[in-house]
Structure formats: C-alpha cells, structure tokens
Amino acid sequence: MFRLALKMLLGDRAKYAMLIGGLAFATLLMMQQSAVFLGLMSWTTSHLRNIRAPIWVGDAKVEQANEVKAMRDTEVNRVRSVPGVDWAVPLFFTILQSRLQDGNFKPVMIVGLDTATLVGRPALMLKGRLEDVRLPNAVIIDDLAVQRLSAGRKKPLEVGDVFEINDKEARIVGICKAERHFFGYPYIFTTFDQARLFSPKTRKMLSIVLASPIKGRSAVDVAKAIRAETGLAAYDENGFGWATIWWYVRNTGIPMSFGTTILLGFIVGIVICGQTFYLFVLDNLRHLGALKAMGASNFTIATMLLLQAMTVGVVGFGIGAGLTVLFGFGVLDKGMPPFMMPWQLPVGTFIVIMVICVFAAVLGILRIWKVEPAIVFRG
C-alpha cells in the first residue's frame, strides 16, 4: 500500500512539484535567515575570540563586549588584589579614523595590548613577528585592514608599509588573522602605550582589564569575586559572550527582523503545503473512498497520507537545505553576509518542516476519516 501511496503522490506532478517547491522555499528561508542571524550574533562577540582572556573586567555599567566605558588606570591594581586573581593586565580599545592614500577616511578598531605581556594578542600571525609590535609606531593589522586600507595604493599593504591613524604615523610590522566584527571595522593591534599615543588625550584611558584565575579556581567564581570586591563589571569569557548576545537580542531590532522572515518561511511552508496537500486529498477523495470501500482501514489510509506528506517533507527539506549550504559556501568565501550553521540548525529546521507536513497530513486525514465508503457509488 505504501508503494501505491508514493506512486499516487508522484503521479500528480503539478502538486508534487508545488509541495516540494513550497517546502524547499520554506526550508531555505528559515535556515538561511537563521544562519545569517546566528552569524551576525557571533560577530557581536568577535572581540572575545580575537582578544583572548579568561576574565574580562570593565566599568560597572558595561553590559556587553562592544561597550567601552573608560576607567582609571588604578583599577588594574584593584583587580590584581582580589583573591583568586592570578594576573590582570590593562587593555586599551578605541575606534579611530585611518586616512587612506586616496584621501578617504576609514574607521579602525585599535587594540592596545599590555606592553610587557602582550596578553590579548592575535591568535594567528600571517606575516611578521608579534614581538615587533613593541617597536615605536608599530602596529599589527588584520587581513580585513589589508583589504580596506589599501585603497589608492599600487600594491596592497605589506609589512614595512606606513599609513596614518588619527594623523599619526603607523608602521606595519605584522599581519594577523582576525574574525570579522559586527561593526565591520578592521582590527589594528598595538601596545597599550602606543595605542594611547594614537588617541586624543583624555583623563581616563583604561578600557578593559583582562585577568585570569589562579589554578584551581574557575573563571566564573573569580569574576564573581572581582565584581563583589571592586564593584566593576566582571565576566568570564563565556558569560560575557552570552551577555553580549542577549544584549543585542533585547536592545536591537535584529532578532525581530530576522524572526519575521523566519516566521514568514514557516507560514509560507504551512500555507502552501497545507493547502496543496489538502487539494491533493480532495482530488483523490473518490479514490481514497474506493480504497476504503475495498476494505482499507482509516488507519491504513491515514498512514498512507502521512507517508506522502513526510516524503515531500524530506525531499523539500533536502533541496532547501542543499540550497542553504550552497549559499553558505558562496558567502563564507567572501565573509559577507555572516553565516553560521551549527548542527542544531538543520535538525531544528527538519523538525519544523516535519511538523508542517504532519499538520498537512492531519488536515487530509480529518477530511477522509468521515467519508462514507459508499460515496464511490455516487456519480
């Protein structure tokens, strides 16, 4: 009977194509938009992966990783004195304008690392030596900076080249790899002192304190201790990441706009699939009635309809997921738009698609359930 069910389904080319198309489109909308959303959310926490430290301490009012509220330099020492803290170093962070050869200005994110320890250093150097960042005017730029800041030059920026940050000369001593940030600006790593030289003078010039717990204490615990002792906002790395993501969810329209599109995908799926499948059942009412007359139980018929609906679900999902992955490969190369697909995403989308299909099948089952098999005698 199940083979018959599938043949009946495939035999109705138009509806089959419509069902597959609708479900593939719904899958694509839901999955692609979710992946871009997740990618975008991961961009909001890029600092945590580009500047690595177990504990992040900021001004009491800091709620998320992209918010900088300057503190007094002495706060580093207060953090150091909290029991459980192994080490604590200052970090300076600011956004400055860089002047390009063609006369344009581009914003860049300046990260000033503790000169002695270079804690928060880039994870991967592509060219040059990290230690050279201690030389006068030295900076390490990321690969995005090479792209962005080379405008107007004959050759892309290289180690040894010089450019301007806030009217001051910066010499490239290294090129590193960095994850792209939500703001879309390149990272420029330098030392804490050099970074302050690039920036306009202000009274407070400490942005963040990076710290580590002593062996045997967890970062979560020690962050809590720092918070209690100093009144500063202290987070462990993971907690800071989630705090950041939740901050964007609460305070921006991003989840709303993506959520709307994802919901739209769900609605498109349920409407197209539900309606087309119901029409399919109506078209086949006579034949399904004949099957009932010939002794097929309601249970058998229901199973046939479920099988048909699930089949279009699996095929439609397969096509939609395939298209999403193709899209993903296309954009991951370019880095735009953001794209992130953890395994939960296809699994979740598959479940949603199956729910849509079961819903469609149930509509049809309710219709056929009540049909008297005697309708087959009526003209």
Peptide linkage before 337 cis (omega within 30 of 0): yes
Nearer to another protein, 129 or 286 (CB): 286
Q: Which of 358, 355, 364, 361 is nearest to 30 (CA)?
A: 355
The gap between the terminal CA atoms of the chain, to the nearest Å, is 26
The Cα–Cα gap between 363 and 308 comes to 13
Q: Which is nearer to another protein, 7 or 203 (CB)?
A: 7
Give ∠ CA 252-111-86 in degrees, rounded to 5.
Answer: 100
Burial class of residue 374 in the structure, from the number of CB atoms within 10 Å of its CB (0-12 exposed, 13-18 middle, 19+ buried): exposed
Beta carbons of 255 and 249 less than 8 angstroms apart: yes
Compute the distance between CA of residue 97 and CA of residue 167 in angstroms, rounded to an integer: 9
Of the pair 11, 107, the CB lying nearest another protein is at 11
Q: How far is the CB of 39 from another protein (least distance, A)?
A: 44
Give the binding site for another protein (CB under 8 A).
1, 3-4, 7-8, 10-12, 284, 286-287, 290-297, 300, 372-374, 376-379
CB of 377 to another protein, least distance (A): 5
Nearer to another protein, 117 or 297 (CB): 297
Query: Cβ closer to another protein: 10 or 17?
Result: 10
Taking the complex as a whole, how short is the minimal distance between the CB of residue 356 and another protein, in angstroms?
A: 24
Write down the least CB distance from residue 43 to another protein, Å.
50
Percentage helix, strand, coil for the chain under 3-state DSSP, each rounded to 5 = 55, 20, 30
Least separation in angstroms between CB 16 and another protein:
10
Least Å distance, CB 350 to another protein, is: 28
118: left (phi over 0), alpha (psi -120 to 50) or beta: left
Cβ-based nearer residue to another protein, 122 or 289? 289
What is 151-162 written as a DSSP string? Answer: TT-SS---TT-E
Residue 104 or 297: which CB sits closer to another protein? 297
**Separation of alpha carbons 280 and 20, rounded Å:** 13
d(CA 214, CA 182): 32
* Helix (H) / strand (E) containing 172: strand 168-177
Contacts of 32 (CB under 8 A, 6+ apart): 323, 324, 327
**Closest separation between CB of residue 289 and another protein, Å?**
9
Nearest approach, Cβ of residue 337 and another protein (Å): 43
E strand or H helix at 174: strand 168-177
**How near is the Cβ of 288 to another protein at its closest, in Å?**
9
Which of 151, 156, 117, 152 minimizes the C-alpha distance to 134? 117
Nearer to another protein, 250 or 287 (CB): 287
Tell me whether residue 4 or residue 351 sits nearer to another protein (CB atom): 4
